[in-house]
Amino acid sequence: MKFEQYKLVKEHALAALQAAGTSLPEADKLNPVLLAYIGDVVFSLYVRLRFLAASSHIRVIHDLSSKAVSAVCQAKALEELKDTLTEDELAVVKRGRNTKSTVPKSASMHEYRMSTAFEALVGWLFLRGDDKRLEEFLDKSFAIILDGLKK
């Protein structure tokens, strides 16, 4: 995207934000990359709060949190929980998994795509306001990830 085009898109986004007020966008209409963007934030906060309850040492919290939110851990959690997902959730996972992106060196292509799918699902549940299901999914995911960190 050229700089002038970027400036126009940015101005449009700011104008839309002012006009939209405080309502959240419809999760079903968002691009899976945006769902994953929101899901990343939600899951990172969830993990940090969980570790905060266990330790007051920032270095420990940061180290454990960084490992817990890694693509490898998220992919493992999603793989283990896939059979518990609804049809709608599986559709979001599929959309997130099939999103094209660059793959970091810290994970395989499969792990990275599955972690994007994981984050897209978390973002989708959050934006839909399905707090009960979101909490259930996050709790189960965290338990799987925590078990993996102990090994």
C-alpha–C-alpha distance, residues 64 and 88, integer Å: 31
Average pLDDT over residues 18-33: 80
Average pLDDT across the chain, whole number: 89
| pLDDT level of residue 28 (50, 70, 90 thresholds) | confident
Q: Which residues contact 35 (CB under 8 A, 6 or more apart)?
A: 27, 92, 95, 96, 119, 120, 121, 123, 124, 127
Answer yes or no: are the C-beta atoms of 96 and 121 closer than 8 Å: yes
Q: Residue 9 — pLDDT band, cuts 50, 70, 90?
A: confident
Known catalytic membership, residue 40: yes
Residue scoring higher pLDDT (32 or 104): 32
Question: Longest C-alpha distance within the chain, in Å?
Answer: 51
Catalytic residue, chosen from 40, 63, 88, 130, is: 40
- pLDDT band (50, 70, 90) for residue 109: confident
Residues 123 and 33: their CA atoms lie apart, in Å, by: 10
pLDDT in tens, 37-74: 999 999 999 999 999 888 888 998 999 999 999 999 99
* Res 102 pLDDT > 70: no
Residue 2 confidence (pLDDT): 67
Q: In this structure, what token pair is assigned to residue 132?
A: 């009960």
pLDDT of 20 > 70? The answer is no
Please tell me the predicted confidence (pLDDT) of residue 75: 96
**Contact status, residue 80 vs residue 148, Cβ threshold 8 Å:** no
pLDDT at 21 over 70: no
pLDDT at res. 150: 85
Give dist(CA 124, CA 38) in Å, integer.
8
Residues 6+ apart with CB under 8 A from 47: 65, 68, 69, 142
Residue 75 and residue 29: Cα distance in Å, rounded?
24
Task: Collect all residues with Cβ–Cβ distance below 8 Å to 32 and sequence separation of at least 6.
Answer: 92, 95, 96, 98, 99, 116, 120
CB of 32 closer than 8 Å to CB of 95: yes
Q: Enumerate domains of the chain plus CATH numbers.
A: 27-150 (1.10.1520.10)
pLDDT at 7: 76
